[in-house]
């Protein structure tokens, strides 16, 4: 079954950014199963290497951010998908916003990311 780290990767890792044409978020949110049972409201995909994301859990790539969170020392290119309209009933329609941001994540005791909190 899927570990918390594997779930984090499924929900939040996409590197390099997949060329799915326009409507990246609509395609990716469905492809990664984030349209079930309801449309997920907000979800960020990180276009960075696994090694660079894992490094945020260590002193080389991140620092403590309180509340057991870690913030990256360098920005990542990310795409944030935000549900359009008021309904969370599939089919899900998203707006896409690609930007360079400092990700805020939680890591497990093995130094692997397990939760995406925000990007700043």
Residue 58 CB, nearest approach to ligand UM3 (Å)? 21
With residue 18 as reference, give the H or E element that holds it: none
Strand 94-101 to strand 103-107: parallel, antiparallel, or no bridges (unpaired)?
unpaired
The correct pick among 4, 6, 38, 42 for binding ligand UM3 (CB under 6 A) is: 42
HSE, side-chain direction, 13 A CA sphere, residue 65: 22
Edge-to-edge strands of the sheet including 76-83? Answer: 42-46, 76-83, 94-101
Draw the binding track, 97-116, toward ligand UM3 (x: CB under 6 A; -: no contact).
------------------xx
Catalytic site includes residue 13: no
The alpha helices in the chain, defined as continuous H runs, are 4-12, 24-31, 50-55
Instruction: Pick the piece of the chain touching ligand UM3 (CB under 6 A) from 21-29, 36-44, 48-56, 64-72.
Output: 36-44
Cα angle: 35, vertex 37, 39; to 5 degrees = 35
The correct pick among 28, 35, 44, 54 for binding ligand UM3 (CB under 6 A) is: 44
- 79 contacts ligand UM3 (rule: CB under 6 A): no
Indicate which residue of 9, 11, 12, 25 is catalytic.
12
Contact residues for ligand UM3, defined by CB under 6 A: 11, 42-44, 80, 115-116, 118-119
């Amino acid at each position: 079954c899927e570990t918390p780290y594997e779930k984090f990767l499924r929900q939040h890792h996409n590197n390099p950014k997949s060329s799915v044409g326009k409507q990246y978020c609509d395609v990716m949110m469905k492809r990664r199963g984030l349209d079930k049972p309801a449309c997920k409201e907000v979800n960020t995909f990180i276009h960075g290497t696994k090694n660079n994301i894992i490094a945020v859990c260590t002193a080389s790539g991140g620092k403590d951010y309180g509340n057991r969170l870690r913030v990256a020392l360098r920005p990542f290119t990310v795409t944030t998908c935000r549900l359009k309209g008021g309904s969370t009933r599939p089919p899900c329609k998203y707006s896409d916003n690609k930007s360079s941001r400092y990700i805020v994540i939680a890591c497990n005791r093995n130094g692997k990311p397990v939760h995406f909190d925000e990007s700043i």
